[in-house]
Amino acid sequence: MKRTSRWRPVLGATALAIGALSACSDRPGEEEIRYAEDYGGHAPLAVVGYPSVGSLRMAQEIVWRTADGDTEALASFAAPGVVNSAPAKTAENWIAAFGKGARGQVTAEFYDEASKRQMVVLYFHDTGQIKELSLRSGMGGEDRDWYVYMDQPDMADATAVRPSIPKTPGARGSKSTS
């Protein structure tokens, strides 16, 4: 007499249901696929400090778009409704000034906590340049949670480094530079 398990039909149905649910919920969207391709196609970003998931992603994408020379995509990260914002011209300036450095090794230092805003300092190792970014979350946009202030239509403003910004990552322990 052949012995069969009474659990086999239940286990089979459970596995089928889990597989079907997984296929629906784990399928990456276009945004996730693009991000994964970008991540694999660019030099890794070194990190100092304590970014949030959103501020880290925004800093990475700013560096990637700068490295790629993609003015339109970089300008699309601009914080909405900011007085004196000039995203297209600021993006052009950032790409012209930091494009070469963004294609090499970059360290991003994240200052203070990141619940609503975070200052990030980018260190472009190949060129020795430094760029300060001001990121902001929750500004009511449809496509992302984090934005960057892009109000530097003058090249001198775009490349200026405040004296309080450390010359090397980690020099202040990721505490406020104000």
The answer to whether 114 and 133 are in contact (CB under 8 A) is no
- pLDDT surpasses 70 at 6: no
- The mean pLDDT of the chain is 83
pLDDT per position as a tens digit, 129-160:
999 999 998 765 455 689 999 999 999 999 99
Among 32-41, 61-70, 115-124, the minimum mean pLDDT is found in 32-41
In the chain, % of residues over pLDDT 90 = 56
Q: What is the pLDDT of residue 8?
A: 45
Q: What is the pLDDT of residue 17?
A: 41
DSSP string, the chain: -----TTHHHHHHHHHHHHHHHHHHS---HHHHHHHHHHHHSPPEEEEE---HHHHHHHHHHHHHHHHT-HHHHHTTBPTT-TT--HHHHHHHHHHHHHHHHTS-EEEEEES--SSEEEEEEEETTTTEEEEEEEEE-SS-SS-SEEE-----SHHHHH---TTS-SSTTTT-S----
Q: What is the pLDDT of residue 45?
A: 93
Q: What is the pLDDT of residue 40?
A: 84
What does residue 107 show for φ and ψ, rounded to 5 degrees?
A: -115, 135
Q: What is the pLDDT of residue 3?
A: 53
| Global confidence as pTM | 0.78
